[in-house]
C-alpha cells in the first residue's frame, strides 16, 4: 500500500527524545508531514531543529505527568499549524523489580506517567479533535502501550499493571466516542525493541525471597541484563524505525484496528496469554451455570 498522505498532516508526538517517539518524529518529517515533538528535555532534538525549519517542526517541553501542561501543548500546536491530525501518545518509563520489592513511591511515579499521563493525553486529544479541529475532520490517536498490557511481565509488575489499566481505559474511551466525530483510536502493543527504555528505567534489587537460582525472577533478570547491554542487538532485534513506518501506515487506514501487536515476540506472548485465559474459561464454564436468583 502507499504510505503517503494526500496532504501534509500535523502530528503531535509525546516522548520524542529517543526510541519510538524519536523514530516517529523522524519518519513523519521524512514523509513531508508537520510535527509537534514534545519531550521533557527539548535540547535532545537540537539536531532536528537544525535540519528542519519552524514551518515543519515545533519542539516544545512537556512532562505528561503534569496534567495542566498537556492542553498547553495542543494549543501551541494549533497556533503553529492550525490543527492536529495524529497524536502519537508515546511518553513512558520502565521499572524493573518484583512486586514485593518495588517501593510504592516508585510505582506511583510510574503510574503518574504511564497511566495518568497517557490517559490525559488521550482525553485532551479527543476533546481537541472534536472541539477545535475543523468540524468533521476528527483525528487519530495512536497509543503506544506494550504487549505487557496483554501479557504481564515478570519483574515488571507495576509496569504491566499501568499498561493493563491504560488498555482498559483506552478501549472504553474508544467505545464512548460518537462516530460522527471521526476520531479513531488504536493501541500499539510492541514487543522488545532497541530503545533505551529498559536501560534508563528504574531497577530495584532482587527481593530476598526470590533469590533461588532457578526462580523465574532470577531468570527474568538475566534476560533483562542481556537486553540492556550495548550488544543487546543479538537478543533484541526490533527496530523502532521500522515500527514507526508501521504506525504511519496505520494512521492512514480508514478503519484502523483497536489493537496492533508489533513483533513476533509480542504476538507469541499475547497468543499464549489468550490461550491461558480461554483454557480457564472452558475448564470452569459450568461454574457459571445455575447462578440466577430463584
> Is 163 among the residues known to form the active site?
yes
Helix axes 240-251, 19-30, angle to 10 degrees: 60
Backbone angles phi, psi at 39, to 5 degrees: -170, 165
Round to whole Å and give the CA distance between 130 and 136. Answer: 8
Set 52, 158, 159, 269: catalytic member = 159
Q: What contacts 24+ positions apart, CB below 8 Å, involve 49-52?
A: none
How far, in Å, CA of 137 to CA of 135, rounded? Answer: 6
From the list 43, 82, 74, 100, the residue with the least C-alpha distance to 217 is 100
Query: CB-based burial of residue 171 (10 Å sphere; 0-12 exposed, 13-18 middle, 19+ buried)?
Result: middle
DSSP β-bridge partners for residue 89? 143
Distance CA 277, CA 270 (A): 11
- Exactly one of 151, 163, 184, 248 is catalytic; name it: 163
Candidate list 23, 94, 145, 251, residue with the active-site label: 145
3-state DSSP helix/strand/coil percent for the chain, to nearest 5? 50, 15, 35
Q: Which of 6, 7, 24 is nearest to 15 (CA)?
A: 24
Active-site amino acid positions:
145, 159, 163
Amino acid at each position: 500500500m502507499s504510505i503517503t498522505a494526500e496532504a501534509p498532516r500535523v502530528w503531535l508526538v509525546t516522548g520524542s527524545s529517543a526510541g519510538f517517539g524519536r523514530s516517529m518524529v523522524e519518519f513523519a518529517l521524512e514523509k513531508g508531514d508537520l510535527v509537534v515533538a514534545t519531550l521533557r528535555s527539548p535540547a535532545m532534538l537540537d539536531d532536528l531543529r537544525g535540519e528542519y525549519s519552524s514551518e515543519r517542526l515545533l519542539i516544545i517541553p512537556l512532562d505528561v505527568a503534569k496534567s495542566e501542561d498537556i492542553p498547553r501543548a495542543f494549543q501551541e500546536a494549533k497556533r503553529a499549524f492550525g490543527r492536529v491530525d495524529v497524536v502519537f501518545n508515546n511518553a513512558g518509563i520502565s521499572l524493573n523489580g518484583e512486586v514485593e520489592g518495588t517501593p510504592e513511591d516508585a510505582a506511583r511515579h510510574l503510574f503518574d506517567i504511564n497511566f495518568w499521563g497517557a490517559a490525559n493525553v488521550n482525553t485532551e486529544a479527543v476533546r481537541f479533535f472534536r472541539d477545535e479541529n475543523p468540524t468533521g475532520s476528527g483525528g487519530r490517536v495512536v497509543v503506544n502501550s506494550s504487549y505487557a498490557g496483554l501479557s504481564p511481565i515478570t519483574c515488571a509488575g507495576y509496569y504491566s499493571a499501568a499498561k493493563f489499566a491504560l488498555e482498559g481505559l483506552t478501549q472504553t474511551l474508544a467505545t464512548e466516542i460518537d462516530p460522527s466525530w471521526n476520531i479513531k483510536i488504536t493501541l500499539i502493543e510492541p514487543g522488545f525493541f532497541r530503545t533505551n527504555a529498559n536501560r534508563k528505567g528504574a531497577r530495584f534489587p532482587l527481593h530476598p525471597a526470590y533469590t533461588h537460582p532457578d526462580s523465574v525472577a532470577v531468570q527474568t533478570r538475566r534476560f533483562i541484563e542481556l537486553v540492556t547491554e550495548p550488544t543487546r542487538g543479538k537478543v533484541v532485534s526490533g527496530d523502532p524505525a521500522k515500527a514507526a513506518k508501521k504506525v504511519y501506515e496505520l494512521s492512514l487506514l480508514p478503519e484502523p484496528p483497536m489493537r496492533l501487536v508489533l513483533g513476533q515476540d509480542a504476538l507469541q506472548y499475547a497468543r499464549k496469554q489468550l490461550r491461558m485465559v480461554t483454557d480457564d474459561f472452558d475448564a470452569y464454564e459450568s461454574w457459571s451455570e445455575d447462578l440466577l436468583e430463584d
